[in-house]
Every structure is written in C-alpha cells, then in structure tokens.
Amino acid sequence: MSKNKKVAIIVDQLFQDSEVTDPKEKVENAGFKVEIIGPNTTEEYIGKKGTKIKADKSIDDVSAGDYIGLVIPGGWAPDKMRMNIKMVKLIEEINAKNKPIACICHGGSMLVEADVVKGKRLTSYASIRTDLINAGARWSDKEVVVDGNLITSRTPADLPAFCAEFLKVLSLIEV
C-alpha cells in the first residue's frame, strides 16, 4: 500500500464510538491505512459508549502531508480537541491543501475553530447549527452534505451516507 493512502481520524476522550469505528472500518476495507491521532499515544481514549482505543500517533508527530484525508468524529471529544491548537492547525493545513475532511455530529465545532466554514454548505448535530451559521456556514438539515473538500453529517444514523460520500471523494484522489 502506498504510504500516501493514509487517512487520519482525530480523537480525544468521550468521542462518539461509532463515528470512529464505522469510518475506520469502511476506509480500511476500501484499501486505505487509517491512523488514529490523539493528543498523545500513552493515554487510552474512551468513547461515550465505552469503546477504548489508543492513538497510533500523537498530534505532535503528524502533519497534513502525511494524510490524504481526515475524519473528525463527534461526541464530546470535539469540545476538548478544539482547545488543542495542534489539532486545530492540522485541520487548517489539511483544508488549505484541499484534502477531504469528513466531519460528523459535534465535529463541526472543530471546523468553526479552524475557521474553514465561511460560505460552505454544511450540516451537523442540531445543537451546533447556530455556531456554524454564526461562523459563516450555510447550514442544512440533511444526512450528508458535500461542499468542496468538506463532507458533513448529523448523527450516527447518517453514518452509511457519510462513509459512502467520504469514500467516493477519497476514490477520486490520485496517490
């Protein structure tokens, strides 16, 4: 497998379990390598429903050039991740390279923090709708919205459409 066929999933404590495990499984089954990126590699990250994972890499050891795409899961982890300047910078850099960013549920708060939503059509969990609109996004209540390199969805119920659209975008990338 080409080293350029890597996709990152960023995590912190209290991620939405299926919003990490489902995209990871689907992306790996499509032939890509997935790396879980956390604040460090020593801590065990526990999802809202109890899934335990360790990060493959620390945010300190990665850069936008390492990956062809990024998944930002929801849950309560984005509230922690948006306080980590290195995670925010990774999103800014991946966006600047026009690489796909798949963001679901509360993950949209990371896009707000990275200041990449102005003028973009997005969806999210309903509770951050106003945050996205105030940051300049055009929000709609749909299971998946694709605008350029941003793929967004609302909740775990949208995971099939979310994963399908992300894989469709990844399949267009020449590596």
Does 163 qualify as catalytic in the annotation?
A: no
Residue 98, classified by CB atoms within 10 Å of its CB into exposed (0-12), middle (13-18) or buried (19+), is exposed
Catalytic residue among 34, 105, 110, 122: 105
**Residue 5 phi, psi dihedral angles, 5° rounding:** -95, 40
Contact predicate 55/85, CB 8 Å: no
Residue pair 124/112 in contact by the 8 Å Cβ criterion = no
105 is catalytic: yes
For residue 69, the 8-state DSSP code is: E
Cα→Cα distances 131→41, 100, 108, 134, 146, Å: 31, 22, 9, 5, 19
Q: Which of 5, 26, 106, 120 is catalytic?
A: 106
142 token code pair: 């749909």
Check: CB of residue 126 under 8 Å from CB of residue 158. no
Phi, psi of 115 (to 5 degrees): 60, 50
Residues labelled catalytic: 105-106
